[in-house]
């Protein structure tokens, strides 16, 4: 496959002190705490985690949070090997991964994976058969599915991506992805590529749908919070964060924040569906 050479990495330092109400009425304070919290993995998670960190910043100058992408596989591997404190993934780690790494899982949101095209594309939806034919390279022009006479440009994600795993298993039913597809490293990179290419088709987390790209109906159902929650839109998944063993210290505080009213409001704002503790 042709790889678009773009390394996605988001790192930032947050100085913070804030008391929040956590699930079941408990509270946690960051005031006076110190240390570094390293988070890596799935790129769908980053908007939520970034805003959570920003909300709790201000008065703990000795606390640092670094958030990086890399994909679900990277998040699982890095937390399992003790390289980060929290590993994010857009798929549930396998039983083998859980057992070999000693992972504890925190599912804090539900998400859909949406087909996306350039906003100028007149096509509003695809069925499963047409989508499969496009990704196999059998359908190569948008006019074959009711669009303009324009070549289709395929975009996909790398094998470490949880978004790709869900798309491949649930939308393509593990069908072929032709090797001429362009590979991009993140949801953000996918959005940028589609927004700049009138012939593009790709897929992103529902939480990443925005005016620069256009979501498509799949088998007659539009991706969105309501259709994912109802089960009508079937290309969906959980968003997970994992720790090696039970979370402690800053990692536990940060993960607890995801289940607070403030945290769940941010999850909704980013286009996801909050999930309670399992």
pTM value is 0.77
Residue 113 CA, distance from chain mean position: 9
Question: Rounded to an integer, what is the distance from CA 102 to the centroid of its chain?
Answer: 23
Q: Are 189 and 8 in contact, with CB atoms under 8 Å apart?
A: yes
CATH 3.40.190.10 fits 112-230, yes or no: yes
Q: Could you tell me the residue ranges of all domains in the chain?
A: 2-110+239-274, 112-230
User: Quick one: pLDDT at residue 31?
Assistant: 75
Higher pLDDT, 177 or 261: 177
List helix spans (H) across 111-239.
Answer: 128-136, 162-166, 187-195, 225-230
Fold match, 2-110+239-274 / 112-230: yes
Task: Give pLDDT, residue 14.
Answer: 34
Instruction: Using the predicted structure, report yes or no on whether residue 233 has a pLDDT greater than 80.
Output: yes
Q: Nearest 5°: phi and psi at 33?
A: -85, 160
Q: Residue 238: left (phi > 0), alpha (psi -120 to 50), or beta? A: beta
Burial class (CB within 10 angstroms; exposed 0-12, middle 13-18, buried 19+) of 221: middle
pLDDT, tens only, 191-215: 999 999 999 999 999 988 989 999 9
With cut-offs at 50, 70 and 90, classify the pLDDT of residue 239.
very high
Classify domain 2-110+239-274 at the CATH class level.
alpha beta
């Amino acid at each position: 496959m042709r790889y678009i050479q773009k390394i996605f990495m988001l790192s930032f330092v947050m100085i913070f002190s804030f008391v929040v109400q956590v699930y079941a009425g408990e509270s946690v304070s960051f005031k006076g705490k110190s240390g570094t919290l390293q988070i890596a993995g799935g790129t769908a998670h980053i908007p939520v985690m970034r805003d959570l960190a920003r909300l709790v910043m201000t008065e703990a100058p000795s606390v640092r949070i670094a958030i990086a992408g890399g994909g679900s596989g990277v998040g699982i591997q890095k937390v399992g090997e003790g390289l980060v404190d929290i590993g994010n993934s857009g798929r549930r780690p396998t039983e083998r991964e859980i057992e070999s790494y000693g992972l504890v899982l925190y599912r804090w949101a539900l998400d859909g994976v949406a087909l996306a095209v350039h906003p100028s594309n007149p096509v509003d939806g695809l069925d499963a058969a047409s989508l499969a034919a496009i990704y196999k390279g059998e359908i190569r022009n948008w006019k074959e599915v009711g669009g303009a006479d324009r070549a289709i440009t395929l975009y996909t994600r790398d094998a470490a991506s949880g978004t790709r795993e869900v798309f491949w298993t649930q939308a393509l039913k593990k069908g072929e992805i032709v090797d001429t597809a362009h590979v991009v490293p993140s949801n953000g990179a996918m959005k940028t590529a589609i927004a700049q290419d009138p012939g593009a088709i790709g897929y992103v987390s529902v939480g990443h749908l925005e005016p620069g790209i256009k979501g498509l109906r799949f088998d007659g159902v539009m991706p969105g919070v309501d259709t994912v929650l109802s089960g009508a839109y079937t290309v969906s998944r959980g968003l997970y964060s994992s720790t090696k063993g039970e979370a402690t210290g800053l990692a536990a505080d940060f993960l607890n924040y995801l289940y607070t009213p403030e945290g769940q409001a941010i999850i909704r704002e980013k286009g996801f569906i909050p999930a309670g503790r399992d």
